[in-house]
């Protein structure tokens, strides 16, 4: 059985927590910040844990990193 390759784009965007959850950067932070309220900007700081449905897709992209 050949080895599977990781998706290079997923390696750059996602990390795994110690318990195996998938951590990702917050979305909606790249541009258009002038429209957002200060509360929205504050709440979008840092990273977030992906929902199980999305985490399942990321695990397929990174088969050996789980």
What is the model's pLDDT at position 35? 95
The residue extents of the domains of the chain are 8-61
What is the model's pLDDT at position 66? 74
- Domain at 8-61: CATH code: 4.10.410.60
Mean pLDDT computed over 2-8: 93
What is the model's pLDDT at position 11? 95
Pairing between β-strand 22-25 and β-strand 14-16 as defined by DSSP bridges: antiparallel
* Strands ordered across the beta sheet of 22-25: 14-16, 22-25, 47-49
As a dihedral over the C-alpha atoms of residue 7, residue 8, residue 13, residue 15, rounded to 10 degrees, the angle is 70
pLDDT tens digit sequence for 6-65:
999 999 999 999 999 999 999 999 999 999 999 999 999 999 999 999 999 999 999 998
């Amino acid at each position: 059985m050949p080895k599977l390759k990781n998706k290079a784009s997923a390696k750059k965007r996602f990390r795994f927590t110690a318990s195996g959850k998938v951590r990702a950067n917050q979305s909606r932070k790249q541009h258009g910040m002038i429209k957002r309220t200060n509360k929205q900007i504050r709440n979008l700081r840092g990273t977030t844990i992906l929902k199980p449905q999305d985490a399942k897709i990321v695990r397929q992209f990174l088969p050996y990193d789980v």
